[in-house]
Every structure is written in C-alpha cells, then in structure tokens.
Amino acid sequence: MAIHTLRSPKRFQDLPGDPGQRFIHEILTTGKQHILEELALAQRSTNDSFQYQECRALLGKKNISIGKRNVVFYLCFEDGVEWAARLRNPFKQANPDHDQELSRKLETRSMESEIATLLFIKQRTTIPVPDIHGFDCSFDNRLDVVEDAGGITDAQILKIHAQLAAISLQLARRCTLSHIGQLKLGRDGADGKPFVEADRGSACSSTRAIFSLD
C-alpha cells in the first residue's frame, strides 16, 4: 500500500510568470504607485472641498491583491481613511480569437458595465455597495478608486447570510430590466450628470434566452 501526501495546489498568483506579479513588479520598479497616491489625494480633496496633505500606497504583500483580471492597491490618507484602487491588468492575455482593437473595446466595456452596475444598485436599493470616488474606463488608464470595504469578520458573514433574502427581494423588485443585457454608463444631455441605462439583449428573460438556443 502506498501512502501519498496530498498537497494543496498553488494559487495562480504564485505561479511563475503570473501576469499579476509582472504588473505589480512594473508598477513598483517604475514608481507608478505615486501616481495612484496623487490621483487619490486630488480626488478626495475635490470631493470633500478640503486639501488633504498625505496619501500613501500600502505596499506590504498582504495589502496588494491579485485577481485574474485586476490588481488592487490600498491607499491610506493621513486621517486613517483607506481607499482601494483597482487597476485592470494590461498583461492579462487577450482572447486570441479577437483582434487588438476589439479586445480593447471589450475590456473598456466590461469595466464600464461593472461601474454602472454598482451605481445602478446604489440608486435603486439600500444594499450596501462601495462608493466609487473616481474612475477612468479608457484602455490606457484603467483606474477605479472605491471606498475600502475593509476586512470582514465571521459575525459580519453571518449577518450577510441573514440578509440574503432581503437583498434578493430588493434586486427582484427594484432592479428588473425589460430585456437581458449589460448595463452601461450614459450621460444626460441636460446637466451632464452620469446615469445608467440598459444595453438591451435579444431576449426579455432567461427562459426565452434558453429556449431560443433550440
């Protein structure tokens, strides 16, 4: 009888050549984290009509998060307030079936839809979502600056589970759309304020979408 020791698989972030690690290395070696600090400092000073003096990126390993498509840096102000800066990773391998121009459009549209969805939920429900303090959906400057949700405790997880029914009910009653589609940002020509509109798909329900595949 052979006895084998089972090992947990490595996280993709720890694999050699991971594009997230490559992106972080480029940011830190070129000092681009200071650009994040300057942008966040200027944005918060504008939002609060108060001139903040200090904002620094937290560069410890535990303070930088790597996902499949994004890297998140945490920024701390002099008064202890923390923001999260989410950057779309340019080193993520593009879909080989798409040309470069189409890939850029899809990446830009994806980020825009994510932001629009947060705004849509915030406008129509009382579901807690992070505040978006600034963003840029252009391909060459993918930056989201949002309010840090902070760490989450076991008690908070239980509270969230208890609220899932209420959250689902709000989504069902207040966030329904006439057709399946992707949310996107739009602009009101009257006052220039951003609003959210639906980019419609061909089906008005998931049931019709499934049966249309037959």
Query: What is the per-residue pLDDT across 23-44, written as a single tens digit (0 to 9) for each?
Result: 888 888 888 899 889 988 998 9
Query: Strand, coil or helix: what is 44?
Result: helix
Query: What separation in angstroms does the CA of 188 have from each of 10, 15, 138, 191, 195?
Result: 48, 46, 20, 6, 7
58: which DSSP letter?
E
pTM of the predicted model as reported, rounded to 2 decimal places? 0.72
CA distance linking residue 84 with residue 146, whole number of Å: 5
Domains of the chain: 12-153 (3.30.200.20)
Residue 75's DSSP bridge partners are 57, 83
Residue 74's DSSP bridge partners are 58, 84
CA distance linking residue 24 with residue 32, whole number of Å: 10
Q: Which of 64-68, 116-120, 137-141, 192-196 has the lowest mean pLDDT?
A: 192-196
Query: What is the per-residue pLDDT across 163-209, written as a single tens digit (0 to 9) for each?
Result: 888 888 998 888 877 777 778 777 643 344 455 566 666 666 666 66
Rounded to 10 deg, the angle between the 154-174 and 100-124 helix axes is 90
CA distance linking residue 42 with residue 40, whole number of Å: 5
Q: Over 80: is that where the pLDDT of 16 sits?
A: no
Question: Rounded to the nearest 5 degrees, what angle is found at the Cα of 118, between the Cα atoms of 55 and 189?
Answer: 95
